[in-house]
Structure 1
Amino acid sequence: MMETNTLYIPRLEDVEKAASILENIVDKTPLMQNITYSRRLGANVLFKREDLQNVRSYKIRGAYNKINSLSAEERKRGIVCASAGNHAQGVALSCSELGIKGRIYMPFPTPKQKVEQVKMFGGEFIDIVLYGDTFDDSYQAAVTECEEAGKSFVHPFDDEKVIEGQATVGYEIIRQASKPIDYVFVPVGGGGLASGLSSIFNVLSPNTKIIGVEPEGAPSMKTSLEKGTNTKLEKIEKFVDGAAVQKVGDKTFEVCKLFLHNMVTVAEGKVCQTILDLYNKDAIVVEPAGALTIAALDQFKEEIKGKNVVCVLSGSNNDITRTAEIKERALLYAKLKHYFIIRFPQRAGALKQFVAEILGPDDDITHFQYSKKHNRENGPAVVGIELKNQEDLVPLIQRMKSHKFYGDYLNDKPDLFQFLV
C-alpha cells in the first residue's frame, strides 16, 4: 500500500498546551499602541514587543517547547543545535531551566557579544563549539554529531514543537487585543513564527490578514510561494541576519502556503532607516529582523487606513558595533550618500577648488581616500559625499564634469563599490 504524506498543520490544542508549558518560562510581552506610526498612517498600529522577551527575542518559545517535549532518555543523551544568534540563546536558557546538557555550534565569525550572551543564558549546561565560516558549516557539524552520538537536534524553525511554541505569539496577541485585528505583519526567516502565528489566527481570527515580510536580499519564502515549491536561493544578502536563510523549512512552507495572505520584501536600507527612526522617536532598540514588519507598513498605507494593525517586533539583539553600517545603509537607501572617483586636475590647489566651488553649501565630505599614496593633489581619490536633499545630486555631478573633476559614480557599481569603500 502506497504511503501518503500527511500535511502538518499546528492544532489549537497543541498551541494551548505549549502556552501552558511556557507559562512561567517566557514573558507575556506587551501589545502596545505606537502613537508615532498610528498618526502617520491613520491606523491603530500596535507593536507585539517580543524585543522585550527574556532572551530579547521570541525564539525561547519554540526552543523550550521542543526541548521540554523530549523523553527522559533523550534528555539524558543531551541536545545539539546550530545558530549564530537568537535561537542559540533560546536553546541555552531552555537547557539551563530544564537541567539538560546542550552543545551549540556557532560559526567562527559570530560576534563575541553573541557568544557571551549564549554562555550567560546557558551557564554550566551548555558547551559552545565554534566551527566553520558560515551557519551552514555549523549546521552540518551539529547534524553529524546528532547522528553519531544519538542526540536530539533542536531545529531553529522546521520542527513541529518549535512551530507550536512560536505560535504562542499569535495566541497571546489574540487574547491581548481589545478589538478585532485586521492585519498582522510578521517577519519571515525560516518560517517558524509565520507558520505558527498564521495557523492559530486561521482558527481563532480567520478574517485577519497575515502579511509575511522578508528582507529584499533574502526572499526565500516569497520565491518559494511564487514557484509553488520550496526553493533554495543560491545567494543571499545576510545583513538582516535574523531573517536571512537560503531555504525556508519544508513544514513551514506548506503552512505558510495555506495561511499567509501576502508575502512582501523590504529593502535592507529601508530596514536600517526604520531602526534609526524607532530609536530616535520611540527609544525602541530592535535588531534588523525586528524592524522588518514596521518597514513594510508604507507598502500598505492606503489599505490599512482606519484598521487595527499589529506588527511583531521579533527581537532586539542588535550589536552596537553595527550602528555605523546601519546609518550608512539608511543614507544610501535614501539617496543622500554618494561615492565618486574624483580625478583631480594636474595643478596645485585642485583640492581646495573642489571644496570651495564643486561642493554645494549643504554637502558634506564623509569619506576621502587617495588611490595613490604619492602625488596626492594630482591623482584620483574615492570621495563619499552626504547630501541634505536628493535633488542636490544632479547639480553636483554637473559641476564636477564642467570642471573636469568627475571620474566615476560608484553607488550603482556594487562590485567596485564594495572593493573601494
Structure 2
Amino acid sequence: MSASLAARTSAVVTDAMLSDHDLLRRTLAARVYEVARETALEHAPLLSARLGNRVLLKREDQQPVFSFKLRGAYNKMAGLNPAQRARGVIAASAGNHAQGVALAAARLGIRAVIVMPVTAPQVKVDAVRRLGGSSVEVILTGDSYSDAQTTAARLHAEHGYTFVHPFDDADVIAGQATVGMEILRQHPGPLHAVFVPVGGGGLLAGVAAYIKMLRPEIQVIGVQAADSDAMTRSLESGERVALDEVGLFSDGTAVKQVGAQTFALCRQYVDGMLRVDTDAICAAIRDVFQETRSVPEPAGALALAGLKQYAAEHGLRDATLAAIVSGANMNFDRLRFVAERAEVGEQREAVFAVTIPEERGSFRRFCAALGQRNITEFNYRIGNAAQAHIFVGIQTQDRDENAALAMAFHEQGFAALDLTDDELAKLHLRHMVGGRSPLAHNEQLYHFDFPERPGALTRFLGHMHPDWNISLFHYRNHGADYGRILVGIQVPAGERPLFQQFLGTLGYPYRNESDNPAYRLLLCE
C-alpha cells in the first residue's frame, strides 16, 4: 500500500464531485434513521490481544437487512418528489443494495424493479422478494453487478424509472457517510485508522470524506478483494479503470468499474488501499464469528482482513483501529469452504505434498517428522511400487513454521513440496488424490471413529500394525467431536483372522466398508 494516496494525488473537483459543504449538509440531513439503526462500535478483545492493538468492529451486519446498504438506498428514495415516486424506481445490485431498495420501496409505497446478477447468493434474492413483497419485481440476469447495471440502464431509459444507484449518487453516498459520522461520535478518542470495504466506492467515499473533513489525522484505508480491485487500480492509474472480469467470492464488492463521484471523492480523501486474498477473507470471517458469534459475508469481512494485513505490515502496536463489518448475508453452503480456507488464511495451516519410499517403516518416519503437530488433513492412495505421494495439512502457529516442517521432512529423506500458497492444490487437487490402483490387491477398507483432539490422528497412526501395508488413507478435520478416517489395508486372505484380532486391540469404533458399492465402483480395479 502506498503511504498516502491523498498525498500524491491532488484534489480533483469535477462536475460529478460533491463539494465538501454539500456532502456534509446531505450527511447531517440524511433520513437513514427512519429505517436504519445506529449500529454498535464494539471492542474485539480476542483480536486486540492477538494483534497487540485495540480493534473496534463497526457492526453494520446488525442492520434490519444485515447490511449498511439500507442507509443510502432509503436516503435516496425518501427524497424523491411525488412524480418520481409515481413512476417508480429501478436498481441494479449484487444483493445488499437490492435489499435496501426493497425495504425502502415497501416502507415508502414505491414500486421498484430490481435487477440482480444470476450469481447473487440465493439468500439475498429471497430476502429481496420477502422485504419488498408486492412492491418489488426481481429480474435475474448476467454474471456480475456490471451486467445487471447494463440491463437496469436499458429499462430505466425505456420506462422512465428513477435509477437508485448503489454507489454513484450524492444522496446514496451521504447515506453511507452516516457510518463514518457514527464512528466519530461513538469513539471521540484517538483513532489511528478506519478500514472500509470497497466495491463501487459509495461507503468508502462517504466515510472517508466525512472523517477527513472533521478528523483529518485519522487514516482511512480502503480494502478490496485481490480479484475485484477496480478502485485500487483506478487510484493507482489516476483514472477510472474498467476490469474485464471480477472474482465472485466477495460478491458484494464484485464491481468492474467504480463510480465517477466515488472515484473523485476517494482520490481526494482516501489515504491508501489494500488488496486481500480469499484465504485472508475466510480467516477474517472466522475472526468476526469468534468475537461476535455473527457470520459476516465475504464482503463484510474485507475490512477486517485489511486491518490485520495493515497492522502486520506496519508493525503497529497499541494503536486503535476500526473495521466496518459491512454485511452478513452469507449463503450457508459457503461455510464449508470458508472453514477449510480460514486456517491457511490465518497462516495456521501448512499444506504439503510429501514423497516417501513405498517400504515398511516409511509411514512411521513420516509421523516422526510431524512431531506433536496436529494433522488437519491426510490423503493418500497407493499408486507406485517405489514411492508414495501424500497430501497432508498440518496445523502451525505461523508461516515461519513451514520451513521447519520442510527441513524435518528433508532430514527423514523425504521430498516435500510446500503447497500452502498453491490455489489449484487447495481448491481442487486435495480432493483428487487417489483412484483405482492395480497395486491395491488384498485391500480391506475400514472406517474408524476416534475422539477429535490435538494429536489424536498421530496417536491413531502410531497404533497401526506394521505387518500390513496401508494402501489408502483419508482424513479431514472438520471440527467435530469425533474424527473419521477411511483406511485401506492390504491383508492377504489367510491373515484375515489375525487382522480381526488386531482391530480389537485398537480401541476405536470401526466398520468394514470393503463391500461398499461406491468403493467397488470408483476405487477397485
Is 1:216 matched up with 2:226? Answer: yes
Larger RCO (alpha carbons 8 Å, 6+ apart):
1
Give matches, 1:354-365, under 5 Å.
355-359=363-367, 360=370, 362=373, 364=375
The equivalent residue for 1:65 is 75
Partner of 1:313: 325
- Equivalent position amino acid for 1:211 in 2: I
| Local SS of the residue matching 2:57 | strand
Q: The residue matched to 1:120 in structure 2 has which SS?
A: helix
The alpha-carbon deviation at position 288 of structure 1 amounts to 1.9
CA positional deviation for 1:378: 6.5
Which residue matches 1:265? 275
2-structure distance, mates of 1:383, 1:75: 64
- Of 177, 183, 188 in structure 2, the residue corresponding to residue 173 of structure 1 is 183
Residue 54 (structure 1) aligns with: 64
Structure-2 separation of matches of 1:308 and 1:397: 42
Query: In the alignment, which of 374, 377, 381 is matched to residue 366 of structure 1?
Result: 377
Residue in structure 2 matching 1:327, options 339, 356, 359? 339
1:191 CA drift (Å):
0.7
Provide the rounded CA distance (Å) in 2 between the counterparts of 1:250 and 1:367: 50
1:95 corresponding residue in structure 2: 105
| Residues 160-309 of structure 1 aligned to structure 2 (within 5 Å) | 160-298=170-308, 299-300=310-311, 305-309=317-321
Aligned length: 404
**Hey, what's the Cα distance between the residues in 2 that align with 1:181 and 1:410?**
38
Structure 2 segments unaligned to the other structure (5+ residues): 1-13, 432-525
Gaps of 5+ in 1: none
Contact 2:376 2:395 in 1 (8 A): no
* Aligned Cα root-mean-square deviation (Å): 3.1
Matching residue of 1:35: 45
CA–CA distance in structure 1, aligned partners of residues 386 and 115 of structure 2: 48
Q: Deviation of residue 68 (structure 1)?
A: 1.7
What amino acid is aligned across from residue 121 of structure 1 in structure 2? L
Question: SS at 1:11's partner residue?
Answer: helix
Shift of the alpha carbon at 1:247? 2.0
Match of 2:128 among 103, 118, 121: 118
Instruction: State the match for 1:80 in structure 2.
Output: 90
> What is the deviation of 1:309?
3.0
Identity %: 34
Tell me if the contact between 2:43 and 2:54 (Cα under 8 Å) persists in the aligned partners. Answer: yes
CA distance in 1, matches of 2:232, 2:58: 23
Shift, 1:316, TM fit: 1.5
Distance 1:207 1:48 in 2: 19
Counterpart of 1:250 in structure 2: which amino acid?
A
1:48 match: secondary structure: strand
Rg: which structure is higher? 2
- Contact 1:365/1:384 (8 A) holds in 2: no
Q: Which of 16, 24, 41 in structure 1 is aligned with 2:28?
A: 16
Are the counterparts in 2 of residues 290 and 312 from structure 1 also a CA contact under 8 Å? Answer: yes
Name the SS for the 2:33 alignment partner: coil
1:386 corresponds, among 393, 398, 407, to 393
Deviation at 1:52, TM superposition (A): 0.9
How far 1:257 moved relative to its partner?
0.6
Q: In structure 1, what is the equivalent of residue 513 of structure 2? A: none
Secondary structure in 2 matching 1:296:
helix
Which deviates more from structure 2 when the two are superposed, residues 188-197 or residues 353-362? 353-362
Q: Could you tell me how far apart the structure 2 residues matched to 1:403 and 1:206 are?
A: 56
SS at match of 1:47: strand
Q: 1:179 to 1:411 in 2, by over 3 A?
A: closer
Using the size of structure 2 for normalisation, the TM-score is 0.69
Q: CA deviation at 1:411?
A: 5.5
Q: 1:190-229 CA deviation, whole Å, 9 max, x = no partner?
A: 1101111111123222222212222233222222111111
Residue aligned with 1:14, SS: helix
Q: How does 1:336-351 map to 2 (within 5 A)?
A: 336-338=349-351, 340=353
- Quick one: distance in 2 between partners of 1:369 and 1:105? 47
Report if aligned partners of 2:406, 2:418 keep a CA contact under 8 Å in 1. Answer: no
Cα 1:285/1:73, change in 2 over 3 Å: same
Q: Secondary structure at the match of 1:193?
A: helix
Whether the aligned pair in 2 keeps the contact of 1:358 and 1:396 (CA below 8 Å) is no
The structure-2 alpha-carbon separation of the partners of 1:287 and 1:343, relative to structure 1 and needing over 3 Å to count, comes to same
User: 1:45-73 CA distances to partner (integer Å, 9 max, x unpaired)?
Assistant: 32221111111110000111112222222
Distance 2:80 2:101 in 1: 13
8 A Cα contact 1:27 1:53, kept in partner:
yes
Q: Which amino acid aligns with 1:183?
A: A
Q: CA deviation at 1:321?
A: 1.7
> CA, structure 1 residues 112+339, in 2 after alignment: closer, same or farther (shift >3 Å)?
farther
